[in-house]
């Protein structure tokens, strides 16, 4: 279903902020509105141009048809669904879904006596518009909402779509500054209200965010930590658009946008992400930024390898002709007729030399060799009708095969790196991965600087066979929200 787009004005945003004068996070939003660097979602042509072809949108619900919307039309109905999802989670997992948050006034964690009781109390609190507590549910898988959702027919370049996950937060909860991951995010608000500020992923904003991630990653244990660590970064970003997110609306957030949010009522939203094949090259160009995020979050080797392997699988599918209307052996002639490299495979080969190093260095050696083989096969099939390399347009010298030409000119030279994490830690990543995993839960509770958001930054994908290829299929869990007086 295609929802009607809504654009909000600064008057609407200010009204929401002024209605919550005691909300401790209203101040940063007022600063952002007054510093001359941001505007309303209803912004100017200049503001929209900063986002390029992918603009932030606020629409009516698009994941649920009219009949399904009746089942989520009131806070009571949403509460009942979420309690069912919570019960389903408890039957299948011992992992707690309720996360305590830090009191910004005392710096102390509000550890619940019973996670399940705290989660149920929070969900029931959705019926009280002033409900506050010092905890939230960052990510609750929602099979009930998944079963109610309806999706349009996608073309074969629609590589993956994540399952629905719900976030439940009390009034006056802050969603810290961070970036959306490589997927297009769809955030469906079920109950409550959120004020958002979302910035475009222009180079200057990305550089500032990356510098903040690097500084956080290199911070020493004795360094002072506060809940406003990233506020200075937010105030330095440009081109942001702000809006008030109301029930029945979906916020569409393009990949790698930066976001800051605050609930002004007890709130529940359901989110999912969509990854399109044409996002592979832009994602690869963002690898330095992604690596900074990985380092700050101390993500283990397997997570990084899985992400890289999923990207490589999508590239192999494209070069094999799975995602395009043109087969490799037709590529040269069809491209010559059109005067441009065609389709996704054309986009890949046209940008290959600029992104290959960043990809290969994070791949397992066996996955790198699989990609290398597929690329050679692709070039060989193209050369059958053109004699030229599809990447550089040159004909190999006499006696040089197309495979040798690829190895010499279009594959990283020197010894193949065995993976970004191993290089960074001197080859000891395997020994440290298990210990890192064991410590992760403790670190998440202790580190007050961790970021949170409607979908957390770099996706942690699992490899899963779809109708097209092994693809990106999962999102990170949101973590570390800080709230005041919740």
pLDDT digits (tens, 9 = 90+) for 74-123: 999 999 999 999 999 988 887 778 888 877 666 677 777 788 899 999 99
Ranked by mean pLDDT, which of 27-36, 89-98, 136-145, 417-426 comes out on top? 27-36
In this structure, which topology does domain 10-284+464-483 adopt according to CATH? Jelly Rolls (2.60.120)
Q: Is-contact 175 227, C-beta < 8 A?
A: no
Cα dihedral value 402, 405, 411, 414, nearest 10: 140
Strand partners, 275: 160
Return the number of other C-beta atoms located less than 10 Å from residue 434's C-beta.
10
How are beta strands 258-263 and 158-161 bridged, if at all? unpaired
Confidence of residue 483 (pLDDT cuts 50, 70, 90): very low
Confidence of residue 65 (pLDDT cuts 50, 70, 90): confident
Confidence of residue 336 (pLDDT cuts 50, 70, 90): confident
Confidence of residue 157 (pLDDT cuts 50, 70, 90): low
Mean pLDDT over 342-361 rounds to 91
Q: Is-contact 453 480, C-beta < 8 A?
A: no
Mean pLDDT over 236-241 rounds to 96
Q: Please state, rounded to an integer, the average pLDDT across all residues of the chain.
A: 80
**Residues 6+ away with beta carbon under 8 Å from 124:** 79
Residue 330 has pLDDT above 70, yes or no: yes
* Of 238, 228, 230, nearest in space to 213 by CA: 230
Give the residue carrying structure tokens 């092994």.
470
Mean pLDDT over 268-277 rounds to 90
CA dist 20 → 118, 263, 272 (Å): 25, 10, 29
Residue 178 has pLDDT above 50, yes or no: yes
CA dist 145 and 88 (Å) reads: 13
Q: Is-contact 483 134, C-beta < 8 A?
A: yes
Residue 436 has pLDDT above 60, yes or no: no
Mean pLDDT over 279-283 rounds to 92
CA dist 242 and 196 (Å) reads: 5
Give the residue extent of every domain in the chain.
10-284+464-483
CA dist 230 and 238 (Å) reads: 15
Confidence of residue 465 (pLDDT cuts 50, 70, 90): very low
Confidence of residue 37 (pLDDT cuts 50, 70, 90): very high
The more confident residue out of 430 and 206 is: 206
Interval 189-222: pLDDT, tens = 999 999 999 999 999 999 999 999 999 888 877 6
């Amino acid at each position: 279903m295609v929802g009607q787009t809504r654009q909000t004005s600064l008057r609407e945003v200010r009204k929401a902020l002024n209605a919550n004068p005691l909300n401790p996070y209203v101040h940063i939003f007022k600063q952002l509105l007054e510093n001359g660097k941001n505007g309303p979602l209803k912004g100017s042509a200049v503001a929209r141009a900063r986002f390029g072809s992918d603009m932030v949108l606020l629409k009516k619900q698009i994941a649920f048809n009219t009949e399904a919307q009746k089942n989520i039309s009131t806070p009571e109905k949403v509460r009942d669904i979420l309690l069912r999802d919570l019960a389903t989670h408890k039957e299948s997992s011992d992992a707690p879904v309720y996360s305590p948050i830090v009191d910004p006034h005392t710096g102390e964690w509000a550890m619940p006596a019973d996670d399940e009781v705290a989660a149920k109390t929070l969900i029931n609190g959705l019926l009280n518009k002033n409900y506050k507590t010092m905890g939230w549910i960052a990510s609750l898988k929602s099979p009930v909402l998944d079963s109610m959702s309806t999706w349009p027919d996608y073309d074969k370049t629609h590589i993956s779509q994540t399952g629905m996950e719900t976030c439940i937060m009390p009034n006056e909860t802050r969603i810290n500054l961070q970036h959306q991951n490589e997927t297009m995010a769809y955030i469906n608000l079920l109950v409550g209200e959120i004020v958002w500020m979302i910035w475009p992923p222009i180079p200057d904003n990305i550089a500032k965010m990356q510098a903040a991630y690097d500084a956080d990653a290199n911070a020493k244990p004795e360094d002072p930590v506060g809940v406003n660590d990233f506020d200075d970064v937010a105030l330095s970003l440009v081109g942001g658009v702000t809006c008030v997110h109301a029930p029945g609306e979906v916020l569409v957030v393009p990949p790698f946008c930066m976001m800051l949010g605050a609930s002004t009522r007890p709130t529940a939203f359901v989110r999912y992400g969509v990854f399109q094949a044409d996002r592979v090259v832009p994602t690869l160009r963002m690898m330095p930024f992604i690596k900074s995020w990985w380092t700050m979050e101390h993500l283990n080797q397997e997570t990084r390898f899985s992400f890289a392997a999923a990207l490589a699988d999508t590239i192999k599918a494209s070069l094999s002709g799975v995602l395009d209307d043109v087969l490799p052996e037709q590529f040269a002639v069809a491209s010559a007729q059109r005067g441009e490299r065609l389709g996704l495979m054309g986009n890949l080969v046209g940008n290959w030399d600029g992104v290959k190093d960043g990809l290969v260095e994070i791949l397992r050696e066996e996955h790198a060799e699989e990609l290398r083989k597929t690329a050679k096969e692709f070039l060989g099939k193209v050369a059958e009708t053109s004699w030229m390399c599809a990447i550089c347009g040159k004909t190999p010298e006499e006696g040089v095969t197309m495979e040798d030409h690829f190895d010499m000119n279009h594959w990283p030279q020197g010894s193949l790196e065995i993976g970004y994490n191993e290089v960074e830690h001197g080859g000891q990543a395997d020994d440290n991965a298990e210990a890192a995993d064991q410590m992760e839960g403790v670190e998440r509770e202790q580190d007050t600087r961790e970021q949170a958001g409607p979908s957390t930054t770099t996706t942690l994908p699992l490899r899963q066979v779809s109708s097209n290829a092994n693809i990106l299929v999962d999102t990170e869990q949101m973590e570390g929200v800080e709230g005041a007086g919740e």
